[in-house]
């Protein structure tokens, strides 16, 4: 089975031009087929504040009403996505920037109102693997933002970690797939401000304890949930690390496992 690497990068990494450049250089040099998924919540939040709209997040997930959806669509599918694609083209990587609406690649359903009304937030329903395969087979690297659609004309904001996991699971039927969550730290830390407190291995039992102890909290919670979901559904390898891990997987990082 051929290998495929899927990397998700977060907003803090995107905001640091030097780190982003290093990461994209390493990503462009990966010899196997590759997919990039990006967030951009920090830039979306900054624009929201400039427009007088206060961002609302619950456990790392953004509540998205009509005005919020306009902002995240502009930032994720527009500014950030096209900047990343242009930088990859400059590095010799033929990339294509995509939302879930493009070529009907990712359809979602609007999250039902429960205790929290998340607004125009989507939960992934289906990933169009045939079209993604079509791109990969032509040496085009898809670059996905976290905007999906419901098939009836409505765009939906979808957690980027979830988008990465769902694409990884769908494509794992065709490839031996490695899923890498890249952000500004070198992995999951016991102490958020202490880079020497790296946790090198986390299994499901460890996660429950770390969550109970509040060591893993907020935006890291959906990331970890998606890591375990991907492994349970057939993804071969899942790691969380810094920008350098894509070019050197022997560098320090956190490996996620089921047992």
Q: How many independent structural domains does the chain possess?
A: 1
Closest CA to 187 of 146, 159, 215, 158: 215
**182 phi and psi angles, rounded to 5 deg:** -110, 130
Give the Cα separation of 254 and 207 in Å (integer): 12
Least Cα distance to 171 among 180, 161, 179 occurs for: 179
Cβ distance 160 to 10 under 8 Å?
A: yes
Q: Which residues carry a binding-site annotation?
A: 40-41, 62, 157
- For 103-209, strand residue ranges (E) read 106-110, 122-127, 141-144, 147-149, 155-157, 176-182, 201-202
The answer to whether 163 and 116 have CB atoms below 8 angstroms apart is no
pTM score, two decimals?
0.94
Instruction: Give the bridge partners for 109, in sequence order.
Output: 123
pLDDT at residue 94, as a whole number = 98
Residues in the chain predicted with pLDDT less than 70, given as ranges, are 59-60
Q: What does DSSP assign to residue 232?
A: H
List the domain range (segments joined by +) for residue 70.
Answer: 3-256
Q: Check residue 33 and give its pLDDT.
A: 97
| Binding site listing for substrate | 40-41, 62, 157
pLDDT tens digits, one per residue of 23-36: 999 999 999 999 99
Q: What is the CATH number of the domain that holds 97?
A: 3.40.1160.10
Specify burial of residue 39 (Cβ count, 10 A radius: 0-12, 13-18, 19+).
Answer: buried
pLDDT at position 45 = 85
pLDDT at residue 137 in the model: 96
């Amino acid at each position: 089975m051929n290998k495929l690497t899927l990397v998700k990068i977060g907003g803090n990494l995107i905001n640091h031009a030097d780190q982003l450049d290093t990461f994209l250089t390493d990503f462009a040099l990966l010899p196997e087929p590759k997919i990039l998924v990006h967030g951009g919540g920090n830039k979306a939040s900054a624009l929201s504040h400039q427009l007088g709209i206060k961002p609302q997040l619950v456990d790392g997930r953004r509540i998205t009403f009509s005005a919020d959806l306009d902002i995240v669509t502009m930032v994720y599918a527009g500014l950030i996505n096209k900047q990343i694609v242009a930088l990859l083209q400059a590095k010799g990587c033929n990339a294509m920037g995509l939302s879930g609406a493009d070529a009907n690649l990712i359809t979602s359903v609007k999250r039902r109102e429960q205790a929290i009304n998340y607004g125009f937030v989507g939960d992934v329903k289906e990933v169009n693997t045939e079209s993604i395969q079509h791109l990969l087979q032509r040496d085009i690297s898809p670059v996905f933002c976290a905007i999906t659609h419901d098939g009836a004309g409505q765009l939906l904001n979808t957690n980027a970690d979830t988008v990465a996991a769902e694409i990884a699971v769908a494509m794992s039927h065709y490839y031996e797939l490695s899923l890498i969550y890249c952000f500004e730290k070198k992995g999951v830390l016991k102490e958020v401000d202490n880079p020497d407190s790296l946790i090198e291995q986390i299994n499901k039992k460890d996660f429950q304890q770390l969550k109970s102890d509040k060591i893993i909290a907020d935006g890291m919670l959906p990331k970890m949930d998606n890591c375990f979901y991907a492994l349970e559904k057939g993804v071969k390898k899942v790691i969380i690390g810094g920008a350098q891990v894509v070019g050197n997987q022997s560098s320090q990082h956190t490996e996620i496992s089921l047992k």
